[in-house]
Amino acid sequence: MKLKVLNHPLIDFYMTMLRSKDTQSSKFRFLAKKVTSLMAFEIFKDLKVLPKTIETPLDKHNGVTLNNQKPCIISILRAGLIMSEGITDVFDEVSIGHIGMYRDENTLKPINYVKKLPSDLNNRQCFLCDPMLATGGSAISAIKTLKQHCASDIKLVCLLASDPGIKKVHDNFPDVKIICAQKDDKLNENGFILPGLGDAGDRIFET
């Protein structure tokens, strides 16, 4: 399964508030972080761990520990920042990278402006975070960047994904699993998801 839509009443409840045009910035930030934190259970379902035996006060327990290479959270700026916060609120044993890009409003093509990534991406589980997967241009550009840095285990994590964006990512990168809280089926003529939630970056940062 290369697509996981969370489908959970708690997530649907928070996403309904997040999508509402009446939700102001501070509440939008709170909700975006909250939904991402709730998604962590699914995001890290296949987290690589090693066996570790410990002693409880009464007996031995065969548990697990993390392997040597921490997973990487890579935020697509700006809006992805809120998702790395939501993830690290519940699991902080991660390295964090940033890829800065924005969508040119006329061409809808992503324009890159910054890149700072952890080392050794080839040995790590990479979780690329962006609240919106609309046309897919930004995600594809970011995945290309990660692959140029030898990342081979990439999951794309979004709050809201569109069917055309999902298809485009999978046409280009069939190996990349997409995990999203919800998905919508269409885009408008400006490349915005319908019904969507508007412009996540502008709503998060009140710009």
* Site residues (vs ligand PRP, CB under 6 A): 76, 78-79, 102-103, 108, 110, 130-139, 165, 191, 199-201
Nearest 5°: CA angle at 156, between 152 and 161?
150
Decide: helix, strand or coil at residue 17. Answer: helix
* Count of CB atoms situated within 10 Å of the CB of 194: 11
In 17-152, DSSP assigns E strands to 49-55, 60-66, 72-77, 95-103, 110-116, 125-129, 132-133
103 is catalytic: yes
Q: Which is nearer to ligand PRP, 34 or 103 (CB)?
A: 103
Q: Which is nearer to ligand PRP, 41 or 113 (CB)?
A: 113
Query: How far apart are CB 57 and ligand PRP at their closest, in Å?
Result: 48
Catalytic residue among 19, 29, 78, 103: 103
107 is catalytic: yes
Q: Which is nearer to ligand PRP, 80 or 118 (CB)?
A: 80
124 is catalytic: no
The catalytic residue positions are: 103, 107, 199, 202
